[in-house]
Chains A and B, each alone.
Chain A
Amino acid sequence: MQRNILLFSFLFVPVLLLLMFVLYPLFELIRLSFTDWNGMDAKQVYIGFDNYMKMFTDSSDVWLSLRNNGFYFLFHLIMIPLELAVAVVLDSKIRANKFFKTVVFMPYIINGVAISYMFAFFYSPINGGLNGILEVLGLESLIQNWLTDESIVNLSLVFVSIWRFSGFHIILFLAGLQSIPQDQFEAAKIDGASSIQNFWYIIVPGVKKVLEVLLFLNVVGALQVFDIPYIMTQGGPGHASSTFTLYTLETAFKFNNFGMASAMGITMLVLIIVLNSVQKRLFNLKGVDEE
């Protein structure tokens, strides 16, 4: 009896909150994706799969935005081996490694909106920091309109994202490295293993779990990129630096097309699940011989 009272009183509030603010909205999102609701009228007409059809056939900006998400995904993916390398270095007995760890992780803690404005200033064409530095280095030929040139704006934004999140990945790798038992390295040393062999046969399998988490976070993160482009370029010029989330929220709250936006939201959820399971399968295929 006392047990049931406890279970009820301890779980009621958390579960209620979860149902009201997480799960009910999910089901609402699915339902709304089949309507033409504009967010205000009481009237919601069910229109079947029209929103989904329209999204895939009639909206080139959706594809453009998705391609931009692809940029974030790709570049963060390329960074992963480099981040692992830095983590290995920081894990070794180098001087001041605590200082380096603290500095490397710092960007992840800083307010994302502040970072975005900071880089808007850094990239600014009039006396911006980056162009100023290029000038001092005698590299005037590299000076660009970092945020208004369609061909380069996404790279500029991806760099901000890497600046912000790489340290977080490095710290995760460090945690993985510290969980590798030291005697494996000692045994390898006795067998005369080179540092490259150490890397492939001890370190990479040792951080497999972290790699898996990172690959998942990369899919979710890349698909959800929002605040950096929203603050720095509002998705512009045109929709050149828009992302899927930015476009979705614009569709809902700027153009009052909640039905369409819901369909996009559900599409993102499906994309996250599909991409992640594909990635996991590929990862495990490759990982079999390492076990």
Chain B
Amino acid sequence: MSQEAGYTPLTRAQLSEFRRRLAKYYGAFFVFLIAFTVVLYLFERAGLPHRFIGYAFIFLTLLLYAFIGILNFTRRLEEYYVAGRRVPAIFNGMATGADWMSAASFISMAGTLWLLGYDALAYIMGWTGGYVLLALLFAPYIRKFGQYTIPDFVATRYGERARLARFVAAICAIIVSLAYVTAQVTGVGIIMSRFFGLDYRVGVFVGLAGVLVCSFLGGMKSITWTQVAQYIILIVAYLIPVTFLSAKLTGVPFPQLMYGKALSEIGQLEQAMNLPAYVQPFKQALSNSAAISAFKQIGITPPEPITVKDWVGTPWQFLALTLCLMAGTVGLPHILIRYYTVPSPKEARINVGWSLFFIWLLYVTAPAYAAFSRWEVLQNVVGQPINALPEWTANWIRTGLLKITDANNDGILQFSELSINGDIVVLATPEIAGLPFTIAALVAAGGLAAALSTADGLLLVISTAVAHDIYAKIINPNAPYGRRFLLSRLMILISAVIAALLAIPQFALIVQLVAWAFSLAASTFFPVILLGIFWKRANANGAIAGMIGGLITCFIYMFWNYVDPRFNVLGLSHLSAGIFGMAANFLLTIVVSLATAPSPKYIQDMVDQLRIPVGEMRLPAPGTAPGAAPGVAPAGQD
């Protein structure tokens, strides 16, 4: 029942014809996006109020996503779960880029760099370097395995205890993805309220509608093709403002190269004002201020504020966070399933290259945003008379993202009298660069695209974990396709509503959950999938013990350090808790596997098959698996 009858893969000629057609559609879409922006700009000059320009952008982009969603309506499992496995590498690269880059990457990354300086580069390196591991260690093997979900992989590889392994993996996938999707919905609400003047709660539901139109009808198929469009919108929106700002400040429209000048100017201004150096590494102290604000919100008397400075100046936190984010990247189910959707393992290898290239475009630009706006603030805002600040500051003081207080009443703004919310860095750049409001609206549409595309992918993971893994594979293996679809769509709706309900109160804890999702993914999936491919001796007992032990270890370090940072190892914060969960998972999987009997031969033969990049996998039919498994010999497939 796992392979749908009558669904044949495309031939090579059909695939390249498909690729040409896609290039034509998305090329036309790109031209249309630019033309639409220009037309709105002309309307803006003719006096169209800003509000309408904003609405035009939301309306048009949501309409487009709905259009792609409806166009890709499907009743085929193969299309609903894995987009028919015919997505060409370059387009899947863009879809992965959009899937990957969330509201956090689009809006908050540059702000985090602004606030933390060098230390925030751990995110830049961690969230890109993980793709090297994904390419070398996971992607081609996952594609060769060729099922639908990550619990599918875990359950088949650790087939001696398929049901338990699948259940644990499905629960892990749901925990990781639900934490992540709630943050995306929060991001949608924030963008809607800041840019389009909608109420935050209304924004959440408008955004939700946007997510549902993409994923409800066509599953992975419509999500994929919407995500490609969303990638184009988000990257254009990200690159335009900072390119103009670079041209304005340095005369060269190439921000990625020119922010070096900004960094050296910042250095001189800092020296003149006696400020700590922006590029100085490892300045972060451990504190429980985040825990305190989270506790306050839910009405609990917070613990004492604690700050631990012992480990400031050491690189451990930076190195551990980088590793944790990398391993987490590889363990995130919504990214891993993208590699089921390409036509072959060879295409999957190239695919990861394109994925990272498209992500790289944004990540190599984010530090430029931070550097240019820091230069602007140090040069034209700090040290100025408070009643003669640059024009752009007024709008953002009104939103509360920028706060100034003249503490010493001298009428001049000192650096310490300025408080900045990191999100302003990307959002205010169009204004700092003197660009029209149309570009600011485009940036908002880009942020919306980033949040929606990530939310889509996550909702699909949650719904398939329930409908496919828990219901169809564990509870009722004889469920007809129709009922699986119904349940799958119902689950998308239910998890979207749950995410919205969790996002409405805007708990600080929820934002924290995203950072933790990486630790959780690193502690659960990364070790068992890696060992599953590269170490035949790993068995089901080991993997189940590993996943559960990893999850528990990770949770313990996370919460303990979160409320009391005096509990730490080498000064690592709760953000890098995944390091310990991952180590525990590896250790348990290896020790328990060695202490119990090896996996049966048919599973070891399956691992052999995984390692060959051509041919279809021959999996033992469910039920007949244990014991003799005819036709799974690894040899002679090509």
Are chains A and B native binding partners rather than an unrelated pairing?
no
- B interface residues (Cβ-Cβ under 8 A, vs A): none
